[in-house]
Structure 1
Amino acid sequence: MRENFLQKERIAMVTYMIDNVASGKVLDVPNHSAENGIRIDQWSDNGGANQQWELADAGNGLVHILNLENKKALRVRGAQVANGAAVEQWDANGDPSQLWKVSDGGRGMVKIFSALGGNKVLDIPGGGSTNGLGAQIWDDVNVASEHWALIMTNVKLVNAGSGKVMDLPGFNTADGTVIAQWEDNGGANQRWRFYPVDAGVYTIQNMASGKFLDLGPGATDGPAIVQQPMRTSAMSQRWVLKDGGGGTKCIVNMAAAAPIHSNHASKDNGSLLCLYSSGGAADPTTTWNLL
């Protein structure tokens, strides 16, 4: 039985890039079009709103997949169930051709099943990597072209205790820069991407520097949170999202088994972030709203 991704992983307030495992390209609305019937393709990640998607709950474990830029819904053209049927955008209207079930595909990846039935999933033809290759549905045969990474993007992390957001001070690109908190100013240095690497496990990238959250030297209350280049096998760069209550999350480091919090529970701008030395217990200083 396929496990419903929505029951355990989806975070309602964030948007996603939908990245094909075979091609490494993301779902894209060609040329930022708002026209009904435009076929959805894949393209290299460029950070555009035409490559960002909302998963809107449609009930019964189903979702609408809505483009962030134009609010059009992903649908199967003509409500077909044949292999190779094109996937396009259309005004959201609740038709079954616009409904999808996002299911666990293993190792943090997902499969996206059409609600039309026939065991059809969202697919890139042949797993090709060409920009502009159109999306389709195909029988679920468990190949890489049918697996997707849902990458949370433009995420604002708001500490439940301080009300401040996770911030890369001064847009600093230097390795080892210590991460702090600051009032929200909308800057890219305060926005983050979450790349799934396993079920519930992510690497977290700053959208200004392109560097990833990691552990640094000890601070007053525990190891400092710093940015470093991607290190593929480093457990110190892997983070688990655990329920913090009230819709919040604890961001727990896999290497240290402890969550991020504001040093000394400070509410001041510029207060440095570190690991909570008391371990994994949730309190407002260790919980975050993902927005």
Structure 2
Amino acid sequence: MCTVVLAGLGVVLPAPAASAATVDTGASYVLVNRNSGKALDIDGSATAAGARITQRTRDDRSSQQWQFADAGGGYYRIKSKHSTMVLTFPSTADGTGLVQRTDTGRPGQQFRLADAAGGDVRLLSRAGGKAVDVLNSSTADGARVVQLPGSGDTSQRWQLVELDADTTPPTAPADPRTSNLTCTGVTLSWSASSDDTGVAFYDVYHDGQLMKSVPGTALSAELTVVPGVTWGLYVNARDAAGNVSQASATVPVTVPQCQADTEPPTTPGGVTATASGTTVTVRWTAATDNVGVTGYEILRDGTAAGSTSGATTFTDSGLAADTRYQYQVRARDAQGNRSASSTPVAVTTGASCATALCSVTRVTTETDLPWGLTTLPDGQALYSRRDTFEIVRLDPATGTKTVVGRMPDVAGTDGEGGVLGLAVAADFSADPWLYVMHTSATDNRVVRVRYTGGVLTGSPQVLLTGIPRNKYHNGGRLRFGPDGKLYLSTGDGQNGAWAQDLTSLAGKVLRINPDGSIPSDNPFGTAVWSYGHRNPQGLAFDSQGRLWEQEFGNSVMDETNLIVRGGNYGWPACEGTTGSCANPGFVAPKHTYPVAEGSCSGIAVVRDALYIACERGMRLYRAVISGDTLTDVQQYLNGTYGRLRTVEPSADGGLWLTTTNHGDKDSIPNNSNESILKVELGR
């Protein structure tokens, strides 16, 4: 029995070793180099043929997991659990680099396991008889793995560490609690989770954003906080096999300011208001404050119309034509002190709309979160009430709401789970299925249920199960493509490794047939269409049939992606354009947004303009799709209606838009106060 130290975490775990005589063709192994102590890995976790093989610090990610298939004559084909390709030497020359390629059975893909000292093995190529070696006996991450004549050096010796088939996650940590709260820090403590093999890590989050990971021996974490914020803190447990627990309960914490401040900012000056059709642009000069101005509030006719987080310009859209409005601006600081309102300025809108967004009408209000929304062929809309598990029909002309059914077998997550995305296919009139993605007690899943006579009828038909769930990061959007296939976005279940694991449905864009079967042209023979996603919640097709996706970042960047078949979008190595994004196998985003100005959920395409609804950013972005880029990115409704969740095309060429201002971080029914808005679009 050997031991393995998880680098940087101080956790020592038992790890069984295999020899040439005991290799199990039904098991998965990590191949650890005796000289460097690092694991055989696919560079950048690539899945493409020809990707090079390197060594990397062991973390048991799927690209470090290998299976041995008997090739006859004492030789094995060594298959990646991540890419399903096999280790290959393209030639017999000294120094030839090891790569992965589709299994064709040729000798350069077959290896003999020769016993070496200390229970290690040497991997000898059948084609040239040469040994798998780390180039120049390097101990660095990323060092190339090559073939060289057998020497017996430790750089040619490999330890075969069999991975336990551990699929049982730890229990959720209990009794989370805070102490030692200051304006810059807090201690979160909890009671230990239990696990059949032992807890390796605890991951601490606020509101879905990872803050810190600590070893499984720790039962507290010292956290850095931001003065003035209100966060929900919680913790997950994770074992050495990567199984992640469900989250603990949430502990709310309101961080005090670092100094008392009762002095308001100065009043903004130089306020102007200019009309362009039914849109007004308000500008002003910056206010000052003894500590610092944190934002501005814009008043229209004495009532709050929106806000900015520091910008000194505001666009007020969707106003009535030929109408006089009066605007004032006031500044605020971090402790909520507000300046006096500026001197009013008046402006009269034009006779007609001259901008992209013409008018916004509140069609109805909701006491529960309206999450998914889809338009029926008759122009009526169906939307989901996330935490009551109900489906509601909405008449856009009258605002009349009718509950058409309640989804069975749904469970909340004390976070962002429940009844999520909705979709109907193009043949709905002839074959009226409503497709629903929801959280159950054990997973996220996709079902379909008949909608006949204005109500849901019969029991739902389960199409896809086994999508990991957690408090946050459940994804949840559904969208039918022009190819008639159903696409769905799934979050990483708060386990970033799953996003790169092609055997997991988490952190992916999935594609299935309407009956739940797997299309024959999917890239990996599974439901996976693309991978390397953190928490995607927006899907939309443009006029060319291309799929756009909107994805939450952790703490730095959100991203808008153009999805390609089999594409790897980089999470968790890459967040937007930050992190280890240089890997040529990663697909770069088409646009990024600072999280403070984004946290965007839903997207919609109308006349090849992409509309993006943002929560923390409290705005609606509009971007023109030009080729494969996004241009002329504009912002609308900045702070006017608060946090925006879902945006969908309406039957009349406009948009539906829903808010998510209250109760969106728990599973409590009817504790919201939301709006469902109808947006009329212009040019």
Q: TM-score of the superposition, structure 1-length normalised?
A: 0.52
Q: Which runs of 5+ in 1 are unaligned?
A: 158-165, 176-186, 193-205, 209-291
1:125 and 2:135 equivalent?
yes
Instruction: Give the letter aligned to residue 151 of structure 2.
Output: V
Distance 1:41 1:57 in 2: 24
Residue 30 of structure 1, aligned match among 43, 51, 65: 43
Instruction: Give the letter aligned to residue 10 of structure 1.
Output: V
Q: Which runs of 5+ in 2 are unaligned?
A: 1-18, 168-194, 202-215, 219-236, 245-683
Q: 1:207 to 1:19 in 2, by over 3 A?
A: farther
Q: Which residue of 2 aligns with 1:103?
A: 114
Q: 1:170 to 1:71 in 2, by over 3 A?
A: closer
Q: Tell me the C-alpha RMSD between the 2 structures.
A: 2.9
Q: Which residue of 2 aligns with 1:68?
A: 81
Q: 1:188 to 1:75 in 2, by over 3 A?
A: same
Distance 1:85 1:51 in 2: 21
Q: 1:96 to 1:207 in 2, by over 3 A?
A: same
Q: CA deviation at 1:171?
A: 7.8
Instruction: Give the letter aligned to residue 23 of structure 1.
Output: S
Distance 2:42 2:49 in 1: 11
Q: Which residue of 2 aligns with 1:113?
A: 124
Q: CA deviation at 1:9?
A: 1.2
1:81 and 2:92 equivalent?
yes
Residue 55 of structure 1, aligned match among 68, 71, 75: 68
Q: CA deviation at 1:155?
A: 3.1
Q: Which residue of 2 aligns with 1:145?
A: 155
Q: CA deviation at 1:156?
A: 4.1
Of Structure 1 and Structure 2, the greater helix share is in: 1
Q: CA deviation at 1:106?
A: 2.0
**1:94-131: CA deviations, max 9, x gaps?**
011100001111211000000013x3100001210111
Instruction: Give the letter aligned to residue 35 of structure 1.
Output: A
Q: 1:95 to 1:168 in 2, by over 3 A?
A: closer
Q: Which residue of 1 aligns with 2:31?
A: 18
Q: Which residue of 2 aligns with 1:44?
A: 57
SS in 2 for 1:149: strand
Q: Which residue of 1 aligns with 2:383?
A: none
Q: Which residue of 2 aligns with 1:167?
A: 196
Do 1:154 and 1:207's aligned partners in 2 also have CA atoms closer than 8 Å?
A: no
SS in 2 for 1:167: coil
Distance 1:10 1:145 in 2: 21
Instruction: Give the letter aligned to residue 141 of structure 1.
Output: S
Q: Which residue of 2 aligns with 1:184?
A: none
Q: CA deviation at 1:137?
A: 0.2
Distance 1:58 1:171 in 2: 36
SS in 1 for 2:121: strand
SS in 1 for 2:136: helix
Larger radius of gyration: 2
Q: How does 1:244-283 map to 2 (within 5 A)?
A: none
Q: 1:150 to 1:168 in 2, by over 3 A?
A: closer
SS in 1 for 2:155: helix
Distance 1:188 1:56 in 2: 30
Q: Which residue of 2 aligns with 1:198?
A: none
Q: Which residue of 2 aligns with 1:135?
A: 145
Of Structure 1 and Structure 2, the greater strand share is in: 2
Q: Which residue of 2 aligns with 1:280?
A: none
Q: CA deviation at 1:174?
A: 5.7
Q: CA deviation at 1:188?
A: 6.1
